[in-house]
Chains A and B, each alone.
Chain A
């Protein structure tokens, strides 16, 4: 059993916590010891959100050590860049093409860096950088709020587990109204990631 360290990062309200909760449950069902913890400042309203999820034989620390993240799942571009240094050398960065400009950039502070710059930061730590067309997938499944499902699909493409484990958890967590579109988003996220992985495309 290989240990798996996942860091999910994004902005408050994007569904990071729901996705990381799901990932932790799935790890437990797959037979791992699991720990997960979220970091959010002041009862977080639109600030940075970071979730550590660890699967292993025997997990001690809930926090992942710098340089030991196997999967960095970025729900937003600069948030991915902020945590890039946590990636392990062979780690994988999967980033949604979502940009949410912080107030600090809008009112003339530090400008929001473009994808090229963000990619250069990520590429410093790993060669495996994938930019997911999350917005397009959201449109295709007619559920723009299903970003967390897309990202779960993306990570599912890397972890060798039965689809049923993921779907069971989604069915339990998502309200019936959004279930179909969520499952579609999950599958599309997985498919797109799989094909990028096969082509070796890192955009």
Chain B
């Protein structure tokens, strides 16, 4: 049966058809849909973990317990999970376990770009890289097989353009009738990594890679496509597709097992062609592997090391390398019309808008124009250390309210560090409820221990909004949407040792301002929970607002809210009644009280 599947859907189906019945993940673009699609199958267990490290550990438990397992995350998630991932490589497994890392070349939706192929090599774990959804589907079967045969986790590496590209999959397999039954096989030598045991396992790891090096030589999905012998292209992942598009007649070596690589196959291919180039996104990973075999090869001197590829980039680089003739350029330049950029923005009625406007007001000297140049803060300004989530969009104009954002949970550490280093300005940390659960709790405990006078503002919108509204322990919402036991944020903070905890509504600007002012003035650790449901996820809709034209003086102050429902039509500020969800924030901003409730 032929079906159009995204790479992520194909990973889920492939895993299901390989007998995987346990899956855990932390949501993160571009990996989120893997677990979401997997959870739709009958008779499987699928659950969001609190973070990637916990997901990996829970997955290890399941695999040790004899159940085939999938753990998925985005590239930076594997940094969080690196500790147990490396440990899993040491212990090996009982049932098959596949770890999916979805890398994001071009940083479509990430704080950084990193090539996780290096991590497979470092952890001594075999790695597979598909080039489209069909391969994703088939490769998943191999991943489970390799994992069980070689007693190892398998790293399955995707990128945004594999995960989020739909292509045709011929579904030929079915779920095996006999999936493995749970049951732990006791062996402290294998699973208890005290040094004396770990040293033995360390030898096993090296032996495993040696065996795999031989095994990958016959792996059927590594493929040589013979064309013109003048040029031989070695490539993997989606770069293979671009290379095929740009070089119509060259010879290709498509590598699907990218750790370890099939050395003999590469040698053979290289000996058959006049010139070898490697086309790969991000780091010169394969290029170095090929060079280490003593083969003359070029790659990154022509092809970019930064960002995502597309056919034009590959073509332009090929021209630069003298592999393709230069294209004829159009004679007449297009009309010089400037097209305004369109950035993502917070939704109409987003509960993050109010608190971010207040932070802008309290934290920044409004007489100083925002500029990208480094500048010292004035005495009264605050440092606003932010975290990762929808609210990070508040860095863009018109809100422009944030100072730092590095990785999940870092906002709290940043503030503690600045304070302890002697930065004289007040600090606040802004973190979402889901991110707080992910890795804010440890930061908060540290804050109590150090008695840092920082104020943590938890923006509690009742979900993990940025990735599409997943549940977390603070929501008590399970994968299937059912409600269960819930971790209480206030009590958690109290239990950690915070005495000053305030809870305010996300739509009450005066209350938010008063709370932040009071908490930042005090010299003890404090938490302000700003609560309001995610407008998108919970489809919030109250009475819409409208602009009374008789009262409006056209000061355009309400545009500072950056609400997509506030528009300019016929040169006047108006509110799109269909888009407005009636949060009332603009109403509190307007100096003329010109924004009023729409009477039905």
Q: Is the beta-carbon distance between B167 and A62 smaller than 8 angstroms? A: yes
CA distance A105 to B562 in the complex (A): 12
Q: Is the beta-carbon distance between B29 and A43 smaller than 8 angstroms? A: yes
**Contact residues in B for A113 (Cβ distance below 8 Å):** 337-339
- Give chain A nearest CB distance to B297 CB in angstroms: 23
Is B568 among interface residues, defined by CB-CB distance under 8 A? yes
Is A33 among interface residues, defined by CB-CB distance under 8 A? yes
Main secondary structure of the interface of B (DSSP, over half): loop
Is B4 among interface residues, defined by CB-CB distance under 8 A? yes
CA distance A41 to B344 in the complex (A): 7
Is B165 among interface residues, defined by CB-CB distance under 8 A? yes
Contact with A along B159-181 (1 / 0, CB 8 A): 00100111110000000000000
Contact with A along B301-337 (1 / 0, CB 8 A): 0000000001110010000000000000000101101
**Contact residues in B for A109 (Cβ distance below 8 Å):** 340
CA distance A65 to B244 in the complex (A): 13
Q: Is the beta-carbon distance between A43 and B341 smaller than 8 angstroms? A: no
Chain B, residue nearest A65 (CB) = B311
**Contact residues in B for A57 (Cβ distance below 8 Å):** none
Q: Is the beta-carbon distance between B339 and A104 smaller than 8 angstroms? A: no
Chain A, residue nearest B133 (CB) = A35
Q: Among A33, A37, A43, A60, point to the contact of B344 (Cβ < 8 A).
A: A43
Q: Among A36, A82, A102, A144, point to the contact of B166 (Cβ < 8 A).
A: A36
Q: Is the beta-carbon distance between B342 and A120 smaller than 8 angstroms? A: no
Q: Is the beta-carbon distance between B340 and A111 smaller than 8 angstroms? A: yes
A36-B165, A81-B337, A117-B337 given; A62·B342 CB < 8 A: no
Q: Is the beta-carbon distance between A42 and B109 smaller than 8 angstroms? A: yes
**Contact residues in A for B346 (Cβ distance below 8 Å):** 45
Is B108 among interface residues, defined by CB-CB distance under 8 A? yes
A60-B244, A107-B398 given; A35·B468 CB < 8 A: no
**Contact residues in B for A21 (Cβ distance below 8 Å):** 166
CA distance A41 to B160 in the complex (A): 11
Q: Among B334, B335, B343, point to the contact of A47 (Cβ < 8 A).
A: B343
Is A106 among interface residues, defined by CB-CB distance under 8 A? yes
A82-B339, A121-B334 given; A61·B108 CB < 8 A: no
Is B567 among interface residues, defined by CB-CB distance under 8 A? yes
Is B397 among interface residues, defined by CB-CB distance under 8 A? yes
Interface residues of B in 463-478 (CB under 8 A from A): 466-468
Q: Is the beta-carbon distance between B167 and A40 smaller than 8 angstroms? A: no
**Contact residues in A for B197 (Cβ distance below 8 Å):** none
**Contact residues in B for A40 (Cβ distance below 8 Å):** 108
Interface residues of A in 60-93 (CB under 8 A from B): 60-66, 78-79, 81-82, 84-85
**Contact residues in A for B341 (Cβ distance below 8 Å):** 102, 104, 110
CA distance A24 to B568 in the complex (A): 36
**Contact residues in A for B167 (Cβ distance below 8 Å):** 33-36, 59, 62
Is B358 among interface residues, defined by CB-CB distance under 8 A? no
Interface residues of B in 170-224 (CB under 8 A from A): none
Name, among B242, B311, B340, the residue most crowded by chain A CB atoms within 10 Å (CB to CB): B340
Q: Is the beta-carbon distance between A47 and B312 smaller than 8 angstroms? A: no
**Contact residues in A for B425 (Cβ distance below 8 Å):** none
CA distance A84 to B242 in the complex (A): 22
Main secondary structure of the interface of A (DSSP, over half): mixed
Is B505 among interface residues, defined by CB-CB distance under 8 A? no
Is B390 among interface residues, defined by CB-CB distance under 8 A? yes
Q: Among A11, A24, A37, A46, point to the contact of B161 (Cβ < 8 A).
A: A37
Q: Among B238, B315, B393, point to the contact of A45 (Cβ < 8 A).
A: B393
**Contact residues in A for B334 (Cβ distance below 8 Å):** 84-85, 121, 124-125
Name, among A45, A107, A113, A121, the residue most crowded by chain B CB atoms within 10 Å (CB to CB): A45
Chain B, residue nearest A79 (CB) = B342
Q: Is the beta-carbon distance between B109 and A43 smaller than 8 angstroms? A: yes
A35-B167, A42-B393 given; A104·B343 CB < 8 A: yes
Is A101 among interface residues, defined by CB-CB distance under 8 A? yes
Is A28 among interface residues, defined by CB-CB distance under 8 A? yes
**Contact residues in A for B466 (Cβ distance below 8 Å):** 42-43
Is A195 among interface residues, defined by CB-CB distance under 8 A? no
**Contact residues in A for B567 (Cβ distance below 8 Å):** 101, 106
Chain B, residue nearest A80 (CB) = B339
Q: Among B29, B310, B332, point to the contact of A63 (Cβ < 8 A).
A: B310
Q: Is the beta-carbon distance between A60 and B393 smaller than 8 angstroms? A: no
Is A12 among interface residues, defined by CB-CB distance under 8 A? yes
A35-B167, A101-B567, A103-B398 given; A120·B335 CB < 8 A: yes
**Contact residues in A for B392 (Cβ distance below 8 Å):** 42
**Contact residues in B for A25 (Cβ distance below 8 Å):** 4
B residues at A contact (CB < 8 Å): 2, 4, 29, 108-109, 132, 161, 164-168, 238, 241-242, 244-245, 310-312, 315, 332, 334-335, 337-347, 390, 392-393, 397-398, 466-468, 536, 556, 559, 562, 564, 567-568, 578
A residues at B contact (CB < 8 Å): 11-12, 21, 24-25, 28, 33-48, 59-66, 78-79, 81-82, 84-85, 101-107, 109-113, 117-118, 120-121, 124-125, 144
9 contacts between A and B (CB under 8 A): A24-B166, A37-B166, A43-B466, A61-B310, A62-B165, A81-B337, A82-B339, A113-B337, A121-B334
* Closest 6 A/B residue pairs (Cβ): A47-B344, A110-B340, A37-B165, A61-B245, A60-B244, A102-B342
